[in-house]
Amino acid sequence: MELLLVGVNHRTATLEEREALALREEEARTLLAGLTGRGHVSEALVLSTCNRTEFYAVADTADAADEHIRQAVREARQGDLLRPGPQRYVLTGAAAVQHLFRVACGLDSMVLGDVQILGQVKDAYACARHVGSAGVVLDRLFETALRAGKRARRETSIGAGTVSMASAAIELAELHGTLQGRRVLVIGAGETARLAVRHVAERDPAAIVIANRDVGRAAALAEGAGGRATGLDGLGDALADADVVVSATRAPMTLVTVELVRQVMERRSGRPLLMIDLAVPRDIEPEARHVPGITLHAVDSIQAVVGEGRGQRAGQVPLVEQIIEDECARFDAWWRGLEATPVVVALRDHFERVRLEELERMRHLPADERERADRLTRALINRLLHVPTLRLKSDAASDEGHRRLVAARELFALTAPERTRTQPRVE
């Protein structure tokens, strides 16, 4: 059994490559349901955000799982988006575990200490559990990752200062002038949009408008911020009235086209419009930046404003790294302990086969003698295996325990018992 991670993120892939691979929750569910039905992959989970799309899998072999994941993506996207190349990374075993824990703790985000990533990891885990693609290994892995992320925020100051894409976007907007007294349009009503609205409201804008496909969700968000809501059918009027636009939806297609932007700018009498697109895939057509009067920033522009406050948070990185090291050690001990169960089961199966073979030789004896022999041999096997079983289980997480498991398999030529999805094979 191997743990595999295949992914792309903001460090390795362009925005275009990331948005081509980005998966909405319903797409992730469909892909996971098909992926775990393929031979070598017993468990799978996908984490897809604006900064990354990562596939975690438990499989017989990493190479086979990698190919199954690539094939699943090809079928979902009609393109080999995970083909080998500099845009993707492949990690196995302890390296995959450490990477996930760094992600959950906010050390691998575009914004160091990003407060949103822990919720995104939790949502990805919940999605896999809903589908049934997360088994015993991914359950433990992601529960441990979430614990590491919570510890990082509770025990360190890694979350101080600008700690979300939304807050960084508002800081980016303020590089173009104060938001006080300006009209701000937020497109979307999810977590990123909610955070953006909160940060905008703190700047005392002249007006806040929330546009969303579900007007009810937009209205609930607007009510708490003293703003107003509109559906996407009112997007043109909202754009014409706004000074600043922040867009953060999970829509599968472009919401603001170049043509719509041109029409809006004709109505604005030359007033400039600042647009910040935090969505992946993007909500605003990139070519809109060429329309006169438009200043358009995509998500990767956030890098320009995350420096302030980073120094304080960077000083917390060693403390977070220690938390990650502690949690990696815990997971490694649990992982090693998994080896004991199939070895113990195989060992008992081996002795039971030998016992039954010997009882078969006694089939000529009277029934009462065969019954007595059955009880005697069963008791004998249990006594003989009692101490080895305890020793194999109790020491499995140590290096010495691992050597004992290997020795037991070799001494008795043990074959792993028939597996279920929650009983991993030990090589």
Q: What is the pLDDT of residues 152-198, one digit of tens each?
A: 999 999 988 768 999 999 999 999 999 999 999 999 999 999 999 99
Report residue 382's pLDDT band, with 50, 70 and 90 as the boundaries.
confident
Give dist(CA 371, CA 365) in Å, integer: 10
Tens of pLDDT along 53-70? 999 999 989 999 999 999
Is it true that 2-161+314-335 and 165-305 share their CATH fold? no
Structure-token pair, residue 420: 């279920």
Mean pLDDT of 290-316: 83
Angle between helix 367-394 and 340-360 (nearest 10) = 160
Report residue 36's pLDDT band, with 50, 70 and 90 as the boundaries.
confident
Give dist(CA 137, CA 143) in Å, integer: 10
Superfamily for 165-305?
A: NAD(P)-binding Rossmann-like Domain (3.40.50.720)
Residue with the two structure tokens 């754009």 = 239
Q: Catalytic: which of 50, 105, 127, 328? A: 50
Mean pLDDT of 97-114: 95
Please say if the pLDDT value at position 424 is more than 70.
no
Asked if 238 and 255 touch (Cβ cutoff 8 Å), the reply is no
Superfamily for 2-161+314-335?
A: Glutamyl-tRNA reductase, N-terminal domain (3.30.460.30)
- Predicted pLDDT of residue 397: 60
Mean pLDDT of 317-341: 91
Is 50 considered catalytic here? Answer: yes
- Predicted pLDDT of residue 162: 62
The reported pTM is 0.82
Please say if the pLDDT value at position 427 is more than 50.
no
Task: Delimit the domains of the chain by residue range.
Answer: 2-161+314-335, 165-305, 339-412
Tens of pLDDT along 385-418? 888 887 787 666 677 777 888 888 888 888 755 4
Element (H, E) at 90: strand 89-92
- Predicted pLDDT of residue 71: 93
